[in-house]
Structure 1
Amino acid sequence: MLSQKAKYALKALLVLAERAPGVPVQVADLSEQGNIPRKFLELIMLELKKHGIVHSQRGKHGGYMLASPPAEISFGAVVRAMDGPLAPIPCASLTGYRKCADCRNEKTCAVRIMMRRVRDAAAEILDGTSLADMSIEDLDNLENQSLSA
């Protein structure tokens, strides 16, 4: 499940993606536009900076900006930065692999095989979708379509 932290990170990055390149946006503006609690957003932005997804600029006209063009920042990269591996269980992960203590044979474990398929499907969608591919309005439309399906 996507954490609230990852959801807020994506919302903030989508706001930045809609701005002119290199123009910093203050946390207060990101918080207001993304409807994100400011104190939580400050921590999220620091983590995104640590992962090289955003840069910051100090001063009166400072703030945050994307470190790369929106087309080069995938949803998958953001989710991994905030939440870690995409796989629902460690033995199905490519980046955080750990063998299960209770598994007799990984190659024939039906749970691992299914969770690997879940991981692969999620990675295909998340890694194949960049910030440039989406906007806040598109996300609202997609959610409305999902709810009506």
Structure 2
Amino acid sequence: MLSQKAKYALRALLMLAERSEDDLVMIADIAERENVPRKFLEAILLDLRKRGLLDSRRGKNGGYRLAKPPAAISFGEIIRIVDGPLAPLPCASKSGFRPCEDCTDVDTCSVRWLMLRVRDATADILDNCSLADGLKHRRATGVLPGEDVPDDMPGSMAATPL
């Protein structure tokens, strides 16, 4: 299951993907628009900066921006940084393999066989979907977070007959 921390990281990085590569965004702006607790967000962004996904600058005109183009950052990379391996069991993990304590033979274990398939399918989806893809989805589905909903947009209060 995806942690709340990973969801916050994804939302923050999607917001940064919307900006030009030179545009720095302050933590307070990200936290407010994405509805993320600021202190929690600070720790998340610091970790992502240390892992090479973000650049930052301190001071009055400081903030964060992506260190790579949005197309070069996959959802899988972000989730692995924040939550660790994608495998649902340690015996199915590529980076954190550990046999289950109650397993008698990892090579013939049918549960492990299934979890390897789950891991591979999950990794295939997450590693082949970038922030640029997520941003395309945001734009295709309408209003970006923090923007006003147009009165004539389906689902807006003004568009709803009374």
Length-normalised TM-score, structure 1? 0.89
Does the Cα contact within 8 Å between 1:93 and 1:119 map onto a contact in 2? Answer: yes
Report the equivalent of 1:75. 75
- Residue 122 (1) aligns with residue 125 (2): no
How far apart, in 1, do the equivalents of 2:3 and 2:115 lie? 19
Quick one: percent identity of the two aligned structures?
59
Report the equivalent of 2:48. 48
How far apart, in 2, do the equivalents of 1:123 and 1:139 lie? 24
Length-normalised TM-score, structure 2? 0.82
SS at match of 1:24: coil
Unaligned runs of at least 5 residues, structure 2:
142-162
- Report how far residue 34 of structure 1 moved: 1.1
- When Rg is computed on C-alpha atoms for both structures, the one with the higher figure is 2
How far apart, in 2, do the equivalents of 1:139 and 1:50 lie? 29
Report the equivalent of 1:98. 98
- The residue type equivalent to 1:59 in the other structure is G
Report the equivalent of 2:134. 134
Q: How many residues in Structure 1 have an aligned counterpart in Structure 2?
A: 141
- Report how far residue 140 of structure 1 moved: 10
Over 6 Å off, 4+ runs: none
Q: Compare 95-104 and 71-80 and name the one that shifted more.
A: 95-104
Report the equivalent of 2:146. none
How far apart, in 1, do the equivalents of 2:140 and 2:70 lie? 19
SS at match of 2:39: helix
- Residue 14 (1) aligns with residue 43 (2): no
Structure 1 residues 89 and 71 mapped into 2: Cα distance closer, same or farther (>3 Å)? same
Unaligned runs of at least 5 residues, structure 1:
142-149
Does the Cα contact within 8 Å between 1:72 and 1:130 map onto a contact in 2? Answer: yes
How far apart, in 2, do the equivalents of 1:87 and 1:139 lie? 31
SS at match of 2:56: strand
Structure 1 residues 140 and 81 mapped into 2: Cα distance closer, same or farther (>3 Å)? farther
Q: 1:43-92: per-residue Cα shift (whole Å, max 9, x none)?
A: 11111111111111111110001010000000000000000000011000
